């Protein structure tokens, strides 16, 4: 029995959808990457927990959300790949806040909050991702972040335990949290504040307009490529350092640094994951050489290189 078939068989009678060697490129915003060795789309949190309890500890498990801020390498992702579907995209009002599924899109959450007269979540309309990924990386934009609005998150751990974590347990930092690699966010409560729906909607329109003007939102991209350095390292933002190093518009194969916003990489049409990652590393090299600052990836890179050699963890 092939390894992928063995993983699928070990899941047993799960209620979700199981497939092997499923292409992941169409799911990625960059539209690049190889297949999932075994892809599982659970029916609900209990189904997910059951699957994780059955998978041997040595089998790698990777959770994918909206795939907006990742590079899936050309050799694909080994082990079990979990993709949360529609059952995890529910959004419900809960007093002055929302209870949202891990697969709910940030933009949909922001729009729902506006329609319900809840303010404080407008920043989510400027983040191209899902709530689960947003909690994991403490996603933020336009003056706020997940740490400022999260009350709790429900996760399923690698061993299949479903638990609720308060915000303090997540130990949020800039674009990071203390969630372990195997933990999957299935639900969260976001805190809002009563507001005039028209006022909130106007703020959403303002953020959308600002994003449209400054970012290549209609291109095949992955959002911000590098984290801004800590203030004690540099008072320049990542895009300013990239620009100063002469990398605006830089190309490698089918990958290019955006002319519009140079902390965005683009797939101009025929890029490979290797093109994108190599371009990012070349930018890092040039910035370090020019400014002395080492940029750190914000985009996650995962899976195997085309040669089959396992790449570094993001």
Which CATH number do you get for residue 114? 3.30.465.10
Active site residue 298: yes
Residue 275 sits in the same domain as residue 236: yes
The catalytic residue among 31, 175, 288, 305 is 175
CB 239 within 8 A of CB 262: yes
Q: CA-CA distance, 130 to 300, in Å (whole number)?
A: 15
Residues 6+ apart with CB under 8 A from 79: 7, 37, 38, 59, 60, 61, 62
Could you count the other beta carbons within 10 Å of the beta carbon of residue 226? 22
SS (H, E, C) 254-282: CEEECCCCCCEEEECCCCCHHHHHHHHHH
The catalytic residue among 177, 224, 234, 258 is 224
Residue 225 sits in the same domain as residue 191: no
Residue 92 sits in the same domain as residue 78: no
Residue 118 sits in the same domain as residue 151: yes
pLDDT over 50 (residue 312) = no
Write down which residue in 130, 161, 195 finishes a domain. 195
Residues 6+ apart with CB under 8 A from 252: 275, 278, 279, 282
Q: Which two tokens stand for residue 19?
A: 């497939």
Residue 76 sits in the same domain as residue 11: yes
Q: How many domains does the chain have?
A: 3
Asked if residue 313 is part of any domain, the answer here is no
Residues 6+ apart with CB under 8 A from 305: 73, 74, 75, 274, 311
Helix, strand, coil in percent for the chain, rounding step 5: 30, 30, 40
Q: Residue 101: helix, strand or coil by DSSP?
A: strand
pLDDT over 60 (residue 204) = yes
Write down which residue in 166, 195, 224 finishes a domain. 195
Q: Which domain holds residue 221?
A: 216-302
Q: Helices in the chain by DSSP H: which ranges?
A: 3-10, 45-54, 106-115, 131-137, 146-149, 167-170, 197-214, 238-244, 273-291
Region 199-213: mean pLDDT is 94
Region 243-266: mean pLDDT is 97
Positive or negative CA dihedral for 295, 296, 297, 303? positive
Residues 6+ apart with CB under 8 A from 253: 270, 271, 272, 274, 275, 278, 279
Q: Is 131 left (phi over 0), alpha (psi -120 to 50) or beta?
A: alpha
Q: Of 25, 188, 22, which is closest to residue 100 (Cα–Cα)?
A: 188
Q: What is the pLDDT of residues 20-72, one digit of tens each?
A: 999 999 999 999 999 999 999 999 999 999 999 999 999 999 999 889 899 99
Region 275-286: mean pLDDT is 98
Can you give the pTM of this predicted structure? 0.88
Asked if residue 71 is part of any domain, the answer here is yes
Asked if residue 129 is part of any domain, the answer here is yes
Asked if residue 201 is part of any domain, the answer here is no
Residue 71 sits in the same domain as residue 139: no
Asked if residue 102 is part of any domain, the answer here is yes
Q: Residue 163: helix, strand or coil by DSSP?
A: strand
pLDDT over 90 (residue 314) = no
Q: Which two tokens stand for residue 234?
A: 């540099």
Residue 132 sits in the same domain as residue 174: yes
Residue 132 exposure: Cα atoms within 13 Å on the Cβ side = 27
Asked if residue 208 is part of any domain, the answer here is no
Domain of residue 222, CATH code: 3.90.78.10
pLDDT over 50 (residue 311) = no
Asked if residue 291 is part of any domain, the answer here is yes
Write down which residue in 163, 195, 227 finishes a domain. 195
Active site residue 158: no
- Reported confidence tier of residue 223, pLDDT bands at 50, 70, 90: confident
CB 185 within 8 A of CB 163: no
Active site residue 175: yes
Torsions phi, psi of 197, nearest 5? -55, -40
Residue 132 sits in the same domain as residue 66: no
Region 235-255: mean pLDDT is 97
The per-residue pLDDT of the chain, averaged, comes to 94
CB 154 within 8 A of CB 188: yes
Q: CA-CA distance, 191 to 146, in Å (whole number)?
A: 10
Residue 76 sits in the same domain as residue 101: no
Asked if residue 307 is part of any domain, the answer here is no
Residue 191 sits in the same domain as residue 150: yes
Could you tell me which residues are beta bridge partners of residue 238? none
Domain of residue 21, CATH code: 3.30.43.10
Residue 52 sits in the same domain as residue 120: no
Helices 197-214, 106-115: axis angle to 10 degrees equals: 150
Residue 187 sits in the same domain as residue 248: no
Pairing type for strands 150-156 and 184-191 reads antiparallel
């Amino acid at each position: 029995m092939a390894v992928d078939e063995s993983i699928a068989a070990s899941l047993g009678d799960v209620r979700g959808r199981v497939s092997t060697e499923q292409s992941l490129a169409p799911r990625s915003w960059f539209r690049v990457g190889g297949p999932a060795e075994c892809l599982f789309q659970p029916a609900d949190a209990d189904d997910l927990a059951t699957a994780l309890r059955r998978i041997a500890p040595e089998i790698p498990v990777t959770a994918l959300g909206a795939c907006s801020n990742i590079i899936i390498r050309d050799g694909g992702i080994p082990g079990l790949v979990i993709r949360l579907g529609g059952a995890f995209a529910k959004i419900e009002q809960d007093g002055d806040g929302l209870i949202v599924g891990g697969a709910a899109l940030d933009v949909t959450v922001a729009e729902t909050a506006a329609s319900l007269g809840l303010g404080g979540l407008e920043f989510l309309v400027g983040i191209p991702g899902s709530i689960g990924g947003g909690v994991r990386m403490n996603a933020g934009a336009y003056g706020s972040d997940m740490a400022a609005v999260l009350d709790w998150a429900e996760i399923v751990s690698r061993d299949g335990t479903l638990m609720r974590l308060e915000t303090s347990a997540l130990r949020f930092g800039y674009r990071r949290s203390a969630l372990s690699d195997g933990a999957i966010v299935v639900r969260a409560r976001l805190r809002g504040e009563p507001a005039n729906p028209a006022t909130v909607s106007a703020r959403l329109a303002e953020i959308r307009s600002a994003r449209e003007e400054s970012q290549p939102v209609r291109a095949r991209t992955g959002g911000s490529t590098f984290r801004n350095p800590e203030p004690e390292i540099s008072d320049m933002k990542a895009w300013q350092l990239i620009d100063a190093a002469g990398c605006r518009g830089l190309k490698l194969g089918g990958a290019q640094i955006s002319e519009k916003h140079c902390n965005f990489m683009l797939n101009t049409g025929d890029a490979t994951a290797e093109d994108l990652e190599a371009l990012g590393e070349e930018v890092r090299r040039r910035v370090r050489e020019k400014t002395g600052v080492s940029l750190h990836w914000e985009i996650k890179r995962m899976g195997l290189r085309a040669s089959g050699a396992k790449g570094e963890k993001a």
